[in-house]
Amino acid sequence: MLRFILRRSGLALLVALTVSFISFSLLFLSGDPAIAIAGESANAQDVAAIRELYGFDRPMLVQYGDWLWSALQLDFGDSYYFRLPVADLIADRLSVTMTLGVCGILFALLTAVPLGVIAAIRPNSIIDRIALFLSVAGQAMPSFWFGLILIVVFAIKFRILPASGADSWRHFILPTIVLGYYAMPAIMRLTRAGMLEVLSADYIRTARAKGASEGRVLFKHALRNAIIPVVSLAAVQMGFMLGGSIVVESVFALHGAGYLAWESIGRNDLPTVQALILVFALFYIVFTFLSDVLNAWLDPRMRSS
């Protein structure tokens, strides 16, 4: 188990390093970053001064090493736009995104797991059909459009929920539904498939044969086994969702890290964008790492692969 964790964290580190290099290279995609910072009215001298000030005249790999070394100490440089340390900006906004992510995954689990279980107990029933419809529709639903519809219905038509902002828990209800619905179909399908498989297993027949109540069979024996892959999928989905919250945050004007990313892209604020790509990637890397370790802990066969 320890060997598995060591090997798996080595992989996670390598992936993180590669992603950090890619997000750093984005700066050079635009050609000369000094010209971008100097703005349109700058002359050649200004550009040269900025180039020297920011160190753009050094070889790219040296700059990357420098940037990475600072990043390891949580120093991502200053935002071109706010003239403030990027790390502080992100730390400020991250709590909103984290709240949204946690609420979203909870919403997804609380709707998807019961639906998946009922759908598996009663295949082809009306609930199974509704669950199937919800999951097929969820995969085709453009999240920005779904968000706007919820705003039209709940904020404009019935005026029961706020359309934008993050001042109270009521502001998080609609974004949570949109973000959660995005993760729901996969979780529901996996719950349903897992329950169907487990329910036909021998030990379920044994449990029924020895006279265990149906509720006990379902929850104590079946669900406990079917839920394992669901938990690790939820961890991976959580990593995806944080990265995907950029769309939801911009629809609901929730000023989280995703919104910051969107604003910074519009303002050509590359240090902030670089840092955010790395932060979101790290979230995904950490969550998949946790999910793999959880899997390996629960199922020794996973440790060798």
Contact residues: another protein, CB under 8 A: 11, 14-16, 18-19, 22-23, 26, 29-30, 136-137, 139-145, 148-149, 151-152, 156, 242-244, 246-247, 250, 258, 261-262, 265-266, 268, 273, 276-277, 280-281, 284-285, 288
CA distance 144 to 60: 38
CA distance 219 to 222: 6
Residue 23: CB minimum distance to another protein, A? 8
Residue 89: CB minimum distance to another protein, A? 15
Residue 213: CB minimum distance to another protein, A? 33
Residue 19: CB minimum distance to another protein, A? 5
Residue closer to another protein by CB (options 172, 240) is: 240
**How is 24-36 classified by DSSP, letter by letter?**
HHHHHHTS-HHHH
Residue 50: CB minimum distance to another protein, A? 18
Residue 113: CB minimum distance to another protein, A? 22
Residue closer to another protein by CB (options 208, 267) is: 267
Residue 140: CB minimum distance to another protein, A? 4
Q: What are the distances in angstroms from CA 188 to CA 26, 200, 223, 234? A: 37, 19, 13, 11
Residue closer to another protein by CB (options 15, 161) is: 15
And the tokens for 127? 């609930």
CA distance 293 to 305: 12
CA distance 12 to 289: 7
CA distance 39 to 59: 23
Residue closer to another protein by CB (options 242, 296) is: 242
Contact 23, 10 (CB under 8 A): no
Residues in the chain: 305
Helix (H, G, I), strand (E, B) or coil at 78: strand
C-alpha dihedral (109, 112, 116, 118), degrees to nearest 10 = 100
Contact 111, 180 (CB under 8 A): yes
Residue closer to another protein by CB (options 8, 208) is: 8
Helix (H, G, I), strand (E, B) or coil at 85: strand
Residue closer to another protein by CB (options 128, 223) is: 128
Residue closer to another protein by CB (options 199, 285) is: 285
